């Protein structure tokens, strides 16, 4: 019940990541294979840490990064300052004790399990409509399908009052992704790297158009009633601005962060889940049987979906290998020792969760997709959405989305892998661990 998660070849996404880290040696490392696989081997040989002293940067691929993430002495550091300089104040990513930390808490409440239950019907409806548009025997391009699906789900559930067609949603999301990527480049290697990434991606023009569209949307929301604003996440931010809890600029910035964090990440995880299920028909059939035995197509019960062991272990394993938050940064507020190496205070650490998730002491054959791992290991040694005060506030929403989409998909179709077409499939490391555009499966309608 295992299958190898193939390592990637050099790709543009990896090139951009290497630029953002600002180190020629690391670029060479990234050419050699899967970041998770390579850094797991490299960091393991060096007590889990690669330390570039001249740059004051340490790259950590050891499971003990959880301790750093849970320690509030370590702050967001230069990455988030760079993002602030490009798009404005960041509320979701506030350090502990920040005077506007209550806004993050409010968003967390808005995205908790109880509120997310209200979105379940929307997610199911959109998924079913997308699936009904497919034909028996059709070839499905995973990245394209999942991008369109998750983008519509996000806007209609979290941003229900946004007035956008499909094309505009895609342009909007691309502008956000490019703007955030440029900010990471600025944090890792300064303005020169940021200008290079900006030139390659035309991020300057995209950023200007993005902010103009946000201004327009702000105008649309400003005339809505209190009841209408209560319907979605952006409306909650507008209400907070009206009540003086944050500025208009902070509210608009927060919309950018939520979309950047919630689109490509969930889309990528879903695409990898579909790909792995297609490659392992035995697991796929077991999950489908579990879904059909315990759920009804006409009555979505999230309390049942959350308890299905096979479905949720598939999701856990996908998130282990293709973590949505695959790299997390902190500036150390105190010295930290990882195994035998001590990093001094003020070191900028880049923590590669997908490398930490592949630690052989905890996961047998760590580079393979497998359901044979002890379930308790996922809770103890994986952190696909980060951990601590800086963890992803949208994690419950992302998991709910994956549970519903996989359940609806397997209820209607069987996924068949095309091994010949996918034999050179390699992950692309960008703002998320992206599946290549060429990745395909065939949909076979269930009788």
Token readout for 421 is: 């077409």
How many Cα neighbours within 13 Å face the side chain of 2?
A: 13
State residue 266's pLDDT score: 93
Q: Which residues pair with 75 in a beta bridge?
A: 331
How far apart are alpha carbons 157 and 151 in whole angstroms? Answer: 10
> What are the start-end ranges of the H helices in 295-352?
302-305, 309-321
Structural domains in the chain plus CATH codes: 2-87+118-153+270-445 (1.10.630.10)
> Please, are residues 128 and 409 in contact by the beta-carbon 8 Å criterion?
no
Query: Tokens 């992950």 appear where?
Result: 427
Q: What angle do CA 296, 301, 303 make, to 5 degrees?
A: 135
**Percentage above 90 pLDDT, the chain:** 30
Q: Angle, to 10 degrees, between the axis of helix 120-132 and the axis of helix 395-412?
A: 40
> Please, are residues 156 and 129 in contact by the beta-carbon 8 Å criterion?
no
pLDDT digits 0-9 by tens, 219-236: 888 888 988 887 777 887
State residue 48's pLDDT score: 74
Query: Tokens 């290991």 appear where?
Result: 377
> Please, are residues 238 and 251 in contact by the beta-carbon 8 Å criterion?
yes
> Please, are residues 233 and 110 in contact by the beta-carbon 8 Å criterion?
yes
Residue 86 predicted with pLDDT over 80: no
Q: Confidence class of residue 11 from pLDDT cuts 50, 70 and 90? A: very low
How many Cα neighbours within 13 Å face the side chain of 177?
A: 19
Q: Confidence class of residue 345 from pLDDT cuts 50, 70 and 90? A: very high
How far apart are alpha carbons 195 and 8 in whole angstroms? Answer: 26
Q: Confidence class of residue 6 from pLDDT cuts 50, 70 and 90? A: very low
How far apart are alpha carbons 139 and 134 in whole angstroms? Answer: 9
State residue 276's pLDDT score: 95
State residue 67's pLDDT score: 92
> What is the chain's mean pLDDT, rounded?
78
H or E element in which residue 350 lies: strand 348-352
Q: Which residues pair with 417 in a beta bridge?
A: 441
Residue 97 predicted with pLDDT over 80: no
pLDDT digits 0-9 by tens, 176-196: 766 666 665 555 544 444 444
How far apart are alpha carbons 358 and 124 in whole angstroms? Answer: 33
How far apart are alpha carbons 378 and 353 in whole angstroms? Answer: 12
Q: Angle, to 10 degrees, between the axis of helix 248-262 and the axis of helix 101-110?
A: 50
How far apart are alpha carbons 343 and 336 in whole angstroms? Answer: 5
* pTM for this model (two decimals): 0.82
Q: Are strands 57-60 and 348-352 parallel, antiparallel or unpaired?
A: parallel
pLDDT digits 0-9 by tens, 17-40: 433 443 333 433 334 445 555 555
The torsion angles phi and psi of 37, rounded to 5 degrees, stand at: -70, -50
Q: Confidence class of residue 423 from pLDDT cuts 50, 70 and 90? A: low
Residue 376 predicted with pLDDT over 80: yes
Q: Confidence class of residue 312 from pLDDT cuts 50, 70 and 90? A: very high
> Please, are residues 80 and 201 in contact by the beta-carbon 8 Å criterion?
no
Query: What value does the mean pLDDT take over residues 364-378?
Result: 92
Q: Are strands 413-417 and 428-429 parallel, antiparallel or unpaired?
A: unpaired
Query: What value does the mean pLDDT take over residues 266-273?
Result: 96
Query: Tokens 């979906």 appear where?
Result: 305
Residue 368 predicted with pLDDT over 80: yes
Task: List CB contacts of 188: < 8 A, sequence separation 6 or more.
Answer: 19, 20, 21, 22, 57, 79
DSSP per-residue letters across 258-303: HHHHHSHHHHHHHHHHHHHHHH-HHHHHHHHHHHHHH-BTTB--HH
State residue 109's pLDDT score: 63
Q: Angle, to 10 degrees, between the axis of helix 191-201 and the axis of helix 12-21?
A: 160
């Amino acid at each position: 019940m295992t299958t190898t998660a193939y390592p990637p070849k050099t790709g543009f996404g990896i090139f951009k990541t290497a630029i953002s880290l600002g180190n020629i040696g690391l670029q060479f490392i990234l050419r050699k294979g899967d970041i998770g696989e390579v850094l797991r081997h490299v960091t393991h040989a060096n007590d889990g840490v690669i330390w570039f002293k001249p740059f004051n940067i340490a790259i950590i691929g050891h499971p003990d990064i959880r301790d750093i993430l849970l320690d509030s002495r370590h702050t967001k550091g230069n990455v988030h300052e760079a993002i602030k300089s490009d798009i404005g104040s960041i509320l979701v990513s506030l350090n502990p004790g920040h005077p506007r930390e209550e806004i993050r808490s409010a968003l967390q409440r808005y995205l908790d399990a109880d509120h997310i239950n209200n979105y379940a019907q929307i997610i199911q409806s959109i998924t079913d409509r997308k699936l009904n548009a497919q034909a028996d025997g059709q070839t499905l391009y995973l990245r394209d399908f999942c991008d369109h699906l998750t983008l519509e789900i996000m806007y209609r559930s979290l941003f229900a009052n946004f007035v956008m067609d499909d094309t505009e949603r895609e342009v909007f999301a691309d502008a956000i992704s490019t703007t955030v990527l440029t900010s990471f480049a600025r944090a890792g290697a300064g303005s020169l790297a940021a200008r290079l990434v900006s030139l390659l991606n035309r991020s300057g023009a995209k950023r200007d158009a993005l902010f103009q569209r946000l201004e327009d949307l702000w105008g649309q929301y400003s005339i809505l009633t209190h009841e209408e604003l209560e319907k979605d996440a952006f409306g909650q931010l507008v209400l907070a601005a009206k009540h003086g809890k944050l500025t208009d600029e902070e509210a608009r910035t927060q919309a950018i962060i939520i979309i950047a964090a919630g689109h490509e990440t969930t889309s990528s995880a879903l695409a990898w889940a579909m790909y792995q299920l297609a490659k392992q028909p035995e697991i796929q059939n077991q999950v489908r049987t579990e879904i059909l035995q315990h759920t009804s197509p006409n009555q979505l019960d999230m309390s049942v979906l959350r308890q299905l062991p096979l479905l949720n272990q598939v999701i856990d394993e996908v998130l282990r290998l293709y973590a949505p938050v695959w790299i997390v940064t902190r500036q150390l507020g105190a010295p930290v020792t990882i195994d035998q190496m001590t990093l001094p205070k003020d070191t900028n650490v880049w923590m590669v969760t997908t490398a930490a998730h592949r630690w052989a002491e905890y996961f047998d054959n760590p580079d393979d997709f497998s359901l044979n791992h002890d379930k308790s290991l996922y809770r103890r040694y994986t952190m696909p959405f980060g951990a601590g005060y800086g963890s992803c506030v949208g994690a419950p929403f992302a998991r709910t989305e994956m549970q519903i989409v996989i359940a609806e998909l397997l209820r209607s179709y069987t996924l068949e892998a095309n091994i010949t077409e996918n034999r050179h499939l390699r992950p692309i490391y960008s703002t998320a661990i992206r599946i290549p555009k060429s990745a395909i499966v065939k949909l076979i309608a269930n009788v």
